[in-house]
Amino acid sequence: MKIYLSLGLTLSLATAGLHAVEQPQPQPQPQQQSPLNLNPPNPKSKDNRSNIVVILTDDQDVHLHSLDYMPLLKKHISDKGTSYKRHYCTTAICCPSRVTLWTGKNAHNTNVTDVFPPYGGYPKFVAQGFNENWLPVWLQKAGYSTFYTGKLFNAHTVSNYNNPFPSGWTSSDFLLDPHTYQYLNATFQRNTDAPVSHEGEYSTDVLAQKAYGLLSEGIHSKKPFFLTVAPIAPHSDVKPFPTIPGKDHEVHMTAPIPAARHAHLFPSARVPRTANFNPDTPSGASWIKNLAKLTPEVIAYNDAFYRARLQALQAVDELVEGIVQRLDEYGVLENTYVIYSADNGYHISQHRLNPGKECGFEEDINVPLIIRGPGISAGKEEVDLVTAHTDIAPTILKLAGAETGWEGLDGSPIPLGDEEIEDVRETRQEHVNVEFWGRSIPEGIYKFSLDDGKVVAYGLNNTYKALRVIGRGYNLYYAVWCTNEHELYDLTTDPNQLHNLYPSPSPSLKPSPSPSPPLNLPLTALIPRLDALLMVTKSCKGQTCIDPWSVIHPAGDVKTLGHALARKFDAFYESVRKRVGFTKCELGYIVESEGAQEAVVYREGGEYGGGEL
């Protein structure tokens, strides 16, 4: 991994495009960190189960190389642990993704599909019954002390923070809307106390002090502890974030604001100029394929926005070191798992897109996952097993030895040590369910510009169901949009997802050229199998999300797409008439608008039927 160190160079505001980015505001010096030599009185408990620390960033990318600008993360986590390069979120937006993380369920099973009510946010999480049935509750039942500081969910506000309080936390200090995303005006709320404003202080620095305090509480609890630290970086700065959906002008997202000590860094950094960076030819489907090319002015702004993200992550990098150093000083580092991840990824200028997320492209769904801890190999960067956010809760439950919480999980524990990884290499699932509902929001000062000259505040009809399938000889993305458009990308030959292989229904349009079809198979053989698999995963529950092929092939002889491509199944898949589709584009999960729900089932002798999901 290439690491970019702080050079201490001055970032000139005369650089092209910087006039469009808000200048970092002067900030007071952060509070002095607690000394490391705290010498707690015999913090070790009789329970020798491992502690678990999760550091969860907001909107952090993999494909724009943000990790390369975090040398302390590399030193303390990456070089001491294992990186999972094929880890995916299942819904590329904050609240639905975080609910999936902490419940182990896909968004179509939580029905928390947006950041606002009525389809999402903290009130929806509570209304769905999860406040009494999620990871911290399960961990407390397993004998763990549980702690959280930072962003929990969207629409968790200064008005509803106690209606009810989030359950399952021994101690907590949450960021609250509408000030969650204000780097210099955060509001935190500790335990059952009233919210406290930290206007003028830098959010990540305030968070760091709270994290160190909760860590001390965990040590002194004389129990194994679970601690989550959730900074807002590198999310956009928002003044303020609305707590209910409203008109376009109510969401004002600008570049993230770094701490003053970091605002001069990386003056020459710019968005990687990959093949999908502002391409000459439109790409994608639905509203994305109608985007106009970004202008030089917008590109300059996007580069400055990118630098601001990297600068904002430097305080997170320091936070990582502060946590690891304190774990070491307390004498518990070697018995602590540290998990570093993000709720979702991010794009800037790829496919002509303004800064943002919410798409199914690799930039948005492939997210960091780095784990260090007992039995985990140090510096192992090339673990290529497919993992997803639905797997995080089961992984933590397994580490904790928990008995409660396993029922109905849509994921399975992530293999951690070398032996575990090799044991499941041939049997672990190769797919990720990807889904989204609603609209896409451009972040920054510019809106979406369409090729017909219109400028719009939202990408409408951004509802889709999709699959990532990565196995021996194939690396595919397949999506069906609420407009009933389709996408099929072979990421082996087209890693930037520019050449949609799906046959166009219009005789005048042809799919983009590609060197060769996936697996050198005709698309007429491949697509029905992908569609049958998506028919299961788009509505799966529990074990059928982990092993969807068992629904289609209950005999158990098919576990992968490779198995399903056997010639003996050709007639079966050719006979399938029910395909994934939508009857309407909705802003939330409305089953009646999502077409057929019954999976096809293969039975020997040519008798085909429907299966339970």
Active site residues: 94
Distance of CA 4 to the CA centre of its chain: 24
Please report the sign of the dihedral spanned by the C-alpha atoms of residue 338, residue 77, residue 313, residue 212: positive
Ramachandran bin of 529, using left for φ above 0, alpha for ψ from -120 to 50, beta for the remaining angles: alpha
Q: Residue 165 class from Cβ within 10 Å (0-12 exposed, 13-18 middle, 19+ buried)?
A: middle
DSSP 8-state symbol, 421: H
Ramachandran bin of 168, using left for φ above 0, alpha for ψ from -120 to 50, beta for the remaining angles: left
Percentage helix, strand, coil, to 5, in the chain?
Answer: 30, 20, 55
What is the rounded distance in angstroms from the CA atom of residue 469 to the CA atom of residue 86?
A: 11
Which three-class secondary structure state does DSSP give residue 177?
Answer: strand
Distance of CA 339 to the CA centre of its chain: 14
Residue ranges of E strands in 360-430: 369-372, 380-383, 387-388
Contact of 200 with 314, CB cutoff 8 Å: no
Contact of 173 with 190, CB cutoff 8 Å: yes
What is the rounded distance in angstroms from the CA atom of residue 28 to the CA atom of residue 209?
A: 15
Q: Identify which of 132, 175, 129, 131 has the alpha carbon closest to the alpha carbon of residue 152.
A: 175
DSSP 8-state symbol, 79: T
Query: What count of residues does the chain have?
Result: 613
